[in-house]
Structure 1
Amino acid sequence: MTKPDDLLPIGLEDALPARAATITRAMRDVLQAMDSHGYDRVRPPLIEFEQSLAGRMEGVATRRMVRFTDPESLLTLALRGDMTVQVGRIAATGLADAPRPLRLCYAGDVALLKADQLDPARQRLQLGAELIGRDNVAAAIEAVTVALDALEAAGITGLSVDLTLPDLVDTLAEEALPLPADKREAVRRELDMKDAGALKAAGGDAYLPLLYATGPFDQAVEKLAAIDAGGVLASRIAALREVAAALRGRVRLTLDPSERHGFEYQSWFGFTVHATGARGALGRGGTYAIKGTDEAATGFSLYMEPLLEVLGTDNTEARKTIFLPLDHDRNQALHLRAEGWRTIAANAESDEPASLGCTHILQGGEPMAL
């Protein structure tokens, strides 16, 4: 019987056996793929000083963090809402003297005080990799490649990649399409919302063509090149073409140069990974600078919830599982587990092998199918 005290807060849920098994397997496969590319895993703490979490990267909203007072220092603590920030701190402190480029990966839960409208979850399993010390085209290609390898290792198919230029408005606003500093945020917002009327009202008439430089990469990049007044975007467009060339034939490629949602702290390059069957993005990444040191970096984050939409859940009952009677030989049971069997030992005469999910029973020293 469920009691009121048994209910979980909105946005939080238990992972029951089948779901937990899928999460564990996918996390292992993703981390192994990152390790195969030379990324070493770090495990930062769940809780840090709020100032540290907010001070290492632009775009980190402290109002979304779960905060409380540290009884020891009396300073404000916060549950991490993004592990990328913590990797930046590690790179700038404990690994400040490590050779660059520095390759680090991670996996862990993050928590938010309040979820957003697009994703109701307030606790998420975040996995990712960061290439510290590089933000060039080669680093961008590596980040996308590692992200795709990690997702494919977990069993994800039907992948597509959407490329973007997070600093597009700021780059154009300086000279090519002049825009006062106090209007840039509104123009960025309306471009992100794809609202032509609101964009004009915000003073972004000159930016209207960007709304149509989207879609399949080859066509969209040509439209973007045609908009590029004075060639200020020439190097970025060339970089996008180079990234696309490295991925061509592997995934479907699209371009949305003015996309900003999820790219609050990225610099010149960003990407989003989608998959058939997932309602939301599986992950995002790009280039950025670690606040405080201004060290260049390139990386990505993946989230487990959309991965599970594609993967489904493991069927634990279908696994090769053998029931061990009360008087079973423990040495033989050890040998069976070494061979890959999953064993369930009886601890009462009333135990029923089938109801416990067993596929076999140990009889006369041999596995017998149920």
Structure 2
Amino acid sequence: MTQPNDLLPEGLEDRLPLEAARITAMMRACLDVLDAHGYDRVRPPLLEFEASLAGRMAGVAKGEGRAMFRFVDPASLRTLALRSDMTPQVGRIAATSLASAPRPLRLAYCGDTVVIKASQLDPARERLQLGAELIGSDSVAAASEAVMLAVEALTAAGLTGISVDFTLPDLVDTLAAKAFPLAPEQIEAVRRELDTKDAGGLKAAGGAAYLPLLYATGPFDQALAALRDVDAGGALKSRLDGLAQIAAHVGNAARITLDPTERHGFEYQSWFGFTLYADGLRRAAGRGGTYRIAGSDEAATGFTLYLDRLADAAPQPEAKPLIWLPFGHDVAAATSLRAGGARTLAQLAEGEDPRALGCTHILEAGGPALLEPQA
């Protein structure tokens, strides 16, 4: 019987066996992809000193939904924070413990994160974050590797219909510097109106020259051509050439679109960002892009996936036969079965029903035998 104290806090939930199996299978598949491409896994702690973690999250932890849980450490009497994002922790590791490691440095990670308050669109407050960071390179080759790695990881996790939406997070800053000048106080207003796709608001904010950007969106080739027409004085040429090279690298592995003014979720990215989508998902499958590590200002490229968001669209792993081990069973044979990847369930008391416990086979003298259904 459920007691009042058994209720979980808002935004937190139990993952029962079938869903937990999907999440675990996705995690293993994605980590295997990252490992195969030479990304070494690191495991940052769940807690850090608040001053260090918050300092490295400048630009990342904007808004109430990113706020971290904080409390005083009884041992040090300093404020600790529960991480809401693992990417800054990987940046800290790269800048400290692995500062002398050869570059480019490839790191992978996977772990739980928690936020104080989530959004209405994504009410979960606990998330299983998995990602990869390529540190020490700010090149088109590095960005291409990050995109392809993310697509390959999602494919290995069993997702289908994968698409990638490219963006240019610093587009307004780049154009405002020379091609389409803006006063400092106008830049944020122009960004806001571009985000909301409001042509009237964009004109009122003094950004009439930026109106063509609203229409340079959609399928990649079409949107890129429209964006090249906007490229006054060649201000965007190198970026657009870079996008074309990244898209060529992806090829037919995923559908590619372009929304050059999208900034939601890309507050700390530099020249390139991308969002991942897949069939069966109501929200984005993940995000990535280029950025500078706070504190060391080292260039990096990476991506993040939240695996528990993807569980509904991931296939259920094939269930292995569960072998019943009755009293007096051959222990060596059972050990050999498990070594070969089988699952076993040992009898603990008289009267246990192996079928009711989910067993499909029973270990007999000649090996596993199929359990016939009860009449």
In 1: Cα distance, 2:189 partner to 2:195 partner: 10
Runs of 5+ unmatched residues, structure 1: none
When the two chains are superposed, the root-mean-square deviation of aligned CA atoms in Å is 1.5
- Is the contact between residue 103 and residue 131 of structure 1 (CA under 8 Å) also seen in structure 2? yes
SS in structure 1 at match of 2:362: strand
Q: CA deviation at 1:60?
A: 2.5
* 2:94 is aligned with 1:95: no
- Partner AA of 2:88 in structure 1: V
- Which digits, 9 at most, give the CA deviation of each residue in 1:169-220, with x for residues without a partner? 1111111111122222222122122233333333322222211110000000
- Is the contact between residue 273 and residue 281 of structure 1 (CA under 8 Å) also seen in structure 2? yes
- Is the contact between residue 271 and residue 286 of structure 1 (CA under 8 Å) also seen in structure 2? yes
In 2: Cα distance, 1:134 partner to 1:329 partner: 57
In 2: Cα distance, 1:100 partner to 1:184 partner: 35
In 2: Cα distance, 1:180 partner to 1:54 partner: 30
In 2: Cα distance, 1:73 partner to 1:209 partner: 55
Indicate the residue corresponding to 1:336 in structure 2: 337
- The share of aligned pairs that are identical, in percent, is 65
Q: CA deviation at 1:125?
A: 0.4
Indicate the residue corresponding to 2:10 in structure 1: 10
- Is the contact between residue 158 and residue 315 of structure 2 (CA under 8 Å) also seen in structure 1? no
**Aligned equivalent of 1:252, options 250, 255, 260:** 255
- Partner AA of 2:359 in structure 1: C
SS in structure 1 at match of 2:287: strand
In 1: Cα distance, 2:300 partner to 2:216 partner: 27
1:130-141 pair list within 5 angstroms: 130-141=133-144
In 1: Cα distance, 2:155 partner to 2:90 partner: 24
Indicate the residue corresponding to 1:34 in structure 2: 34
In 2: Cα distance, 1:199 partner to 1:2 partner: 54
- Partner AA of 2:345 in structure 1: I
- Is the contact between residue 115 and residue 126 of structure 2 (CA under 8 Å) also seen in structure 1? yes
- Is the contact between residue 177 and residue 206 of structure 1 (CA under 8 Å) also seen in structure 2? yes
- Partner AA of 1:224 in structure 2: L
1:1-370 pair list within 5 angstroms: 1-61=1-61, 64-314=67-317, 318-370=319-371
**Most deviating of 249-258 and 19-28:** 19-28
Cα pair distance change 1:117/1:185, threshold 3 Å? farther
In 1: Cα distance, 2:256 partner to 2:219 partner: 6
- Is the contact between residue 19 and residue 314 of structure 1 (CA under 8 Å) also seen in structure 2? no
How many residues are aligned here?
368
**Most deviating of 233-242 and 194-203:** 194-203
- Is the contact between residue 56 and residue 85 of structure 1 (CA under 8 Å) also seen in structure 2? yes
**Most deviating of 180-189 and 129-138:** 180-189
**Most deviating of 349-358 and 63-72:** 63-72
- Which digits, 9 at most, give the CA deviation of each residue in 1:285-333, with x for residues without a partner? 1100011111111111111123212114446xx4211111122121221
Runs of 5+ unmatched residues, structure 2: none
TM-score normalized with structure 1 length: 0.96
Q: CA deviation at 1:364?
A: 3.9
- Is the contact between residue 42 and residue 104 of structure 1 (CA under 8 Å) also seen in structure 2? yes
- Which digits, 9 at most, give the CA deviation of each residue in 1:43-62, with x for residues without a partner? 00001112212222431327
In 1: Cα distance, 2:76 partner to 2:195 partner: 41
TM-score normalized with structure 2 length: 0.94
SS in structure 1 at match of 2:147: helix
